[in-house]
Amino acid sequence: MSFSILSYNEPSALHPLQSNCLVVHREIRGADMSLTAAVSGFVVFLLSVSGTGQHGWGVTYSSTEICALKGSTVNMSCSYTYPSRIDGVDTEVKETFWFTKLSGKQPVDLRTDSDHQLRVEYSCSEKSCTLRITDLRESDSAEYKFRFITNQPGGRYTGSPGVTLRVTDLQVKVKRLHVSTRWAQLECLSSCRLPSHSYYIWYKNGQQIQSQTSSTNSGNFNYADSYSCAVEGHEDFPSPPVYAPKLPSVSVSPSAEIVEGRSVTLTCSSDANPAAKYTWYKENGDPDLQPLSKDPQLVFSSIQSSDSGEYYCTAENELGRRTSKYISINVKYAPKLPSVSVSPSAEIVEGSSVTLTCSSDANPAANYTWYKKNGDVFQGPEDIYHFSSISSEDRGNYSCKSENQYGEINSTSVFIDVQYAPKLPSVSVSPSAEIVEGSSVTLTCSSDANPAANYTWYKKNGDPDLQPLSKDPQLVFSSIQSSDSGEYYCTAENELGRRTSEYIYINVTYAPKLPSVSVSPSAEIVEGSSVTLTCSSDANPAANYTWYKENEDSPKASGQIFTITDFRAEHSGNYSCEAQNRRGRNKTTVHLTVAVNSTKIMNIIRVTVVVLMLIPLLLLSLWTRKKKTLSSTTEPQEPVEMIELDSCPEYENVSDFTAAQTEDTEQQEDML
């Protein structure tokens, strides 16, 4: 028998003139399978192969398949060839190693592989290399390849396919002979073909059973015992023990609190060989319990509060059956919709006792918070709120919130209708700004009352028998007048009582009325005297005053009083007083005339008379002197003619006299 095995040769190992897709054939010489003993004497099956690649490159493995038992030691050997010289350059081997894995595209030396460190050993010489692996594990099952690297360009070569290692364990197969008893048959097996003359050793609880040497063992097995087997001569590598299930343990996922609506999984596990089969039950007092599941896991995709209870599972194999302890499932859930009750449920009067109760199904128990319609929190966390003496302020809509760590929910609201007498009425004015005469003004009276109050409006005027101005909540002035200024109040009344508001003052503002002007002194104004003008006007707010004289642009004065300290003729004329505020202005005019001073006139007359008497004398004196001078020089003196002057001229009336005297006075002043 002869057949070929394909071996992959990396392109880099080829001669530069050769194709990079070369497939090398290796022939397996000989058709016999040889049985070779592994290190430590444990039996393995080896397939001997040999072969040489093209152009002198090649790897030949002594075996391509090895079956070994867990814990044993195995050797893998190979030989390799390569051209001794290429292009005049001698070939030298730089590196040799075995590998099973690639890092990126590069093979990983088993000596640096974390899965094999400290358990591998190379024994290499020129053109041969042996891999030794101790303490075999099932994870060591893989294809092992040898690789060598030379000094030639691209001189790397990997023997492929490599050696396939299969690590297995002795196994004890259990067959129950009677369903209702623990009578069973045990058989020691291996996936590696063992020699037909092999002898077996059986162990019970780790102690050898001397009487058993065959591959089978039958009996009535106790669930507390364990059994294993080994091949004689290789007692250090026994099979894993078989035994009945241990006490099952139950776990819950998630391990935290279980919340309604979430996914919950109960898992039953038991140490057993062969592996146990599981069944789930819920304790509910039924002796004929129906299983909930025959899987290791009991899954609630959306657990509900009704799923709360005690659960347990059973674990069973061919050697026995065990039952777990109970596990309690306590499903937590957010509060359900709360309900609110009111006691008493009849009509509620201010001052009575009232109790509100909020209830909600929740796990864990809910905490409660009470709310009024406006959202204010007024009580928590109790489910009952008690009004020992309910007041009008307590009237309104109430609701409660039920909450725990899993959620919260609000109840619908309930209305508490508390009846009470009117509270102190409040009064408002519209517009709230300054009230101007002639505008529309509304006074509004309001009071918190249940039943609603009736309203009456009054004006304070000192009359004990006040007549109501209105029996409506509003008192309306369509065109308010200054006479409407004053204090107003209202009353609010229902069958439970009557209250009176505080006073509100209505201050109507208006422009100044026509000013009145008084003159002091009120008699004739004598020149040089002091004159005081006083102006007054009804106005709100109070007026400011400004004085003007006719035909003059600038004001004479400001203020309510205007005084002229030295009144003269030029001060005579029309004077006006203007009263003004932010609402308007008004003006009044008065005429002032200066009267003649009699004492002063008499003094002027006296001066005038004296002057008139002196003038003739002066003229006479001047004439006499002139004449004497002429007489003494040219002519004899002539008698002097006497001229009689009228020293006291007559006037037809006083005004003529006054005019004349004034003229004389002015002439005298001009002379002076």
The string of pLDDT tens digits covering residues 457-509 is 999 887 787 789 999 999 999 999 999 999 999 999 998 899 999 999 999 99
Q: How confident is the model at residue 180 (pLDDT cuts 50, 70, 90)?
A: low
Question: Do 271 and 245 touch, CB atoms closer than 8 A?
Answer: yes
Across-strand partners of 273? 243
Q: In the chain, pLDDT over 70 holds for what percent of residues?
A: 83
Q: Residue 313: exposed, middle, or buried by beta-carbon count in 10 A (0-12, 13-18, 19+)?
A: buried
Rounded Cα–Cα distance for residues 1 and 22 (Å): 26
- Cβ atoms < 10 Å from Cβ of 559: 12
Question: Do 72 and 138 touch, CB atoms closer than 8 A?
Answer: no
User: In which order are the strands placed within the sheet that holds 561-564?
Assistant: 516-520, 531-536, 561-564
**Residues 57-84 pLDDT 10s:** 999 999 999 998 888 899 999 999 999 9
Rounded Cα–Cα distance for residues 82 and 129 (Å): 14
**Residues 158-177 pLDDT 10s:** 999 999 999 988 889 998 87
Does residue 39 have a pLDDT over 50?
no
Rounded Cα–Cα distance for residues 660 and 40 (Å): 175
Rounded Cα–Cα distance for residues 390 and 12 (Å): 99
**Predicted local distance difference test score (pLDDT) of residue 599:** 63
Superfamily of domain 516-595: Immunoglobulins (2.60.40.10)
Give the Å distances, CA to CA, from 66 to 140, 171, 234, 253: 12, 19, 18, 43
CA angle 120, 188, 249 (to 5 degrees): 85
Max Cα separation, the chain?
A: 219
Q: What is the mean pLDDT of residues 636-655?
A: 41
Rounded Cα–Cα distance for residues 426 and 179 (Å): 95
Rounded Cα–Cα distance for residues 436 and 473 (Å): 22
**Residues 119-155 pLDDT 10s:** 999 999 989 999 999 999 989 999 999 999 999 988 8
Rounded Cα–Cα distance for residues 44 and 60 (Å): 19
Beta-sheet strands, E only, within 388-530: 396-404, 407-410, 414-416, 418-419, 426-430, 435-436, 441-446, 454-459, 474-477, 486-494, 497-500, 504-506, 508-509, 516-520, 525-526
Q: What is the mean pLDDT of residues 107-113?
A: 93
Q: What is the mean pLDDT of residues 196-204?
A: 85
CA 170 to chain centre: 65
**Residues 311-353 pLDDT 10s:** 999 999 988 899 999 999 999 999 999 999 999 888 888 899 9
Instruction: Using alpha carbons, select from 82, 91, 249 the residue that is nearest to residue 159.
Output: 82
Read out DSSP for 49-113?
Answer: -----GGG-EEEES-SEEEEETT--EEEEEEEE--SEETTEE--EEEEEEES-EETTEE--GGG-
CATH architecture of the domain formed by 426-509: Sandwich (2.60)
DSSP H/E element including 663: helix 654-671
Tokens of 315: 């674990």
CA 61 to chain centre: 72
Characterize 407-433 residue by residue with b for buried, 16 or more Cβ atoms within 10 angstroms of its Cβ, and e for exposed. bbbebeeeebebbbbbbebebebeeee
Q: What is the mean pLDDT of residues 549-576?
A: 91
* CATH code that applies to domain 3-168: 2.60.40.10
| CATH of range 249-332; options 2.60.40.10, 1.10.10.10, 3.30.420.40, 3.40.50.150 | 2.60.40.10
- Which SS3 state, helix, strand or coil, does residue 606 take? helix
Question: Do 549 and 575 touch, CB atoms closer than 8 A?
Answer: yes
CA angle 486, 487, 492 (to 5 degrees): 145
Q: What is the mean pLDDT of residues 255-277?
A: 93
Q: How confident is the model at residue 43 (pLDDT cuts 50, 70, 90)?
A: very low
DSSP H/E element including 279: strand 277-283
Rounded Cα–Cα distance for residues 27 and 47 (Å): 13
Question: Do 202 and 242 touch, CB atoms closer than 8 A?
Answer: no
Does residue 30 have a pLDDT over 50?
no
DSSP state of 540: B
* Topology (CATH) of 339-419: Immunoglobulin-like (2.60.40)
Class in CATH terms, 171-243: mainly beta
Q: Which residue has the tokens 């398949």?
A: 65
In the chain, where the domains are located: 3-168, 171-243, 249-332, 339-419, 426-509, 516-595, 607-627+646-671
